[in-house]
Amino acid sequence: MKTIVLAEKPSQASDYANAFQKHTKKQGYFEVSDPVLANETFITYGFGHLVELASPEQYDTKYKKWDLKNLPIFPEKYKFIVPKDKKGQFSIVSDLIKDADQIIIATDSDREGENIAWSILNKAKIDLKSKDIKRLWINSLEKESILNGFKNLKDGWEFYNFFKEAQTRQISDWLIGMNASPLFTIELQRKGINGVYSIGRVQTPTLYLVYKRYLEIKNFKPTPYFEINAEVQAGADKFNGKLDPYIRFSDKNKLNDFAKEKNIKSGVQEGIISDVKKNLKKSQSPRLFSLSDLQTEVNKRYHASASDTLKAVQKLYEQKILTYPRTDCNFITDNEFNYLKKNLSKYISFLNKDLNLNNTNPNKRYVDSSKVQEHHAIILTKTVPSKDNFNKLSDLEKKIYQLVLKTTLAMFADPFEYEETVILTKVNLAIFKTIGKTPKNIGWKELFSEESKESKDDENLLPAVTIGDIVKVDLSVDQKETKPPIPYTEGTLIKAMKTAGKDLDDEEDQEILKDIEGIGTEATRANILETLKNKQYLLTEKNKLTVSQQGITLCKAVELEPLLASAEMTAKWEKALKQIGQKQRTQDNFLEQIKKFITKIINDLPNKMNDSSILNSQIEEQITTQKEIETESEISNCPICKTGKILDKGKFYGCSNYNADEPCKFSLPKKWSEKTLSKTIVKELIEKGETKIIKGFKSKKTGKKFDAKLKLSDGKLSFNFNKGE
């Protein structure tokens, strides 16, 4: 029997091959043998998506130029193509699976992995019913986990509807993007706005979340208020108290009325300790990490982007020292708990700390098989990196590994225990409350003591007082102002995406979003944020996110079609997509509804945009800003079209006629052979055709630095190594 194992990418295939007793590398695949495998087994792989949806111009060349007359774009049959740079590998995979008796799908164990695998199988045009199709489903790339997975293969057809669900999501996203993006772009360009405007099912409501926060901050008006605070002196000791119940006074008159009613005044007066309560309290360690939770925490601690965190944790997974990263779960099963318990001494040794990890019975806060669906939380594997291997990791990878390590071990540690003391001080008819915490058992916080002052912050030692003690109380009035909302960071935005929809009116929509963990998925949220930043709709400054002028314009335009900006639309979509995965709905039924939605937008949007004074006012503001920026960034006349100006476009230099009726596509890079090209260099290059000798270029082949001139000929950039002037 000939068995073909289909991995998602070369590195994954290599990990599988290395787990077996024998393997031989061939062009595009591995020959493998092991007692757990059939006699004739080969491992092949994709490069992620070997098969993708065709672009509109591959259906008809008329779609090359965006035109409202060509909308909507609704193909009768969707074309799936193999990109040119992947055709060689697809041919190898296709030939192998055509001859296979058994196919083991071993792509990533998630819905997108199903989409990648089944898209390849369908494109190969083989009789799938004639094949024995199995599914490898694992959470770790360790040898033992891989071998156990191959010993316990699942029926591949059990997961086929997850593929249909993922493919439907892929097609519906394509329909929205290929219709709404041209529609909004053309209408905005008609009004004088440059650039291309991208619309997406998840990216647009995500952008709108940041836009709403931007408006809240922009329109915020601080409100003054007053507080009454107490400084209590008990013998030689002092402590502070707040009104109980706490009251914030909007003006001095209300404060004076309260003071009169309670018979209190500013300054020192007599008080009495009316109550003292002491309670021993416990704080459990943090929950285990889902990907979103990890991205949020890493951004908070280290200001790393969601995308960089995902890349780092993926690398740690491929290094076999952390489990599968794209998980939305905070729980593990008894199996994981047991292997973690067995390896505690190895983990502690790596940390080189004297720790007491006494809780070796599973706790439902962390260990609950009923809460684990596709993947468990991100935890340690049985493999602990050597010091040498650990030192080879990047700084971010080291920090993430240690964070997951400590969070995993924390569930075996004692709770953080502290004594909470509550003192009530009575001043005539007013009560002031003081709360103090005294640590009794540092517990799990000992794991985080080096990089966090958290345990010290909890200390608020109060003097020993008893009920009935007479004390001196100095009352003072502080004037403060309400503070605006805090801008999103990537971490808090990831969290907001995960919890989006809580303010929806429809309870059913709220429940759907609760079930699916908000908008986007663990695997896609980081890419969504990168897309919004790359398109310069979102700007980052000191780890805080805000919306650009271009992003504001897009949000004001999208407000005219609220479902495009709302978590409600995602809720409706996810409800239907989930039904496809559960065989309760068909792909065709769902896509027909999407088409009706798109048709309505195409028919309604032009008039809505013409009638919107708010949008047109924003467009005028952006055009003014755009002209000012272009004037400041003008470098030279365009050497190709002669009528345009060469502008600094941020990531490159390009012609101002890029979006004209007869577009000029001339551009120059910001970097060339690792050397940054300044505006002065570009101006000299365009106006003289050649620069003076520039130092500091770096060879891609050798890595050595060299000096050369740059030459521009027929719009093409090249080196001139002639040193003569």
Residues marked active site are found at 324
Would you give the DSSP letter of residue 412? Answer: T
* In contact, 263 and 429? CB cutoff 8 Å: yes
- What is the rounded distance in angstroms from the CA atom of residue 54 to the CA atom of residue 79? 5
Would you give the DSSP letter of residue 296? Answer: H
Side chain identity, residue 519: I
Instruction: List C-alpha distances in Å: 689 to 91, 509, 686.
Output: 45, 61, 5
Give the total residue count for the chain.
725
* In contact, 298 and 400? CB cutoff 8 Å: yes
Would you give the DSSP letter of residue 289? Answer: B
Instruction: List C-alpha distances in Å: 570 to 237, 314, 500.
Output: 58, 27, 10
CA dihedral 583, 585, 591, 593 (to 10 degrees): -160
The sign of the torsion formed by the CA atoms of 302, 305, 311, 314 equals positive
- What is the rounded distance in angstroms from the CA atom of residue 122 to the CA atom of residue 612? 47
* In contact, 341 and 306? CB cutoff 8 Å: no
- What is the rounded distance in angstroms from the CA atom of residue 372 to the CA atom of residue 324? 13
- What is the rounded distance in angstroms from the CA atom of residue 328 to the CA atom of residue 591? 27
* In contact, 546 and 210? CB cutoff 8 Å: yes
Alpha helices in 127-191 (DSSP H): 143-151, 160-190
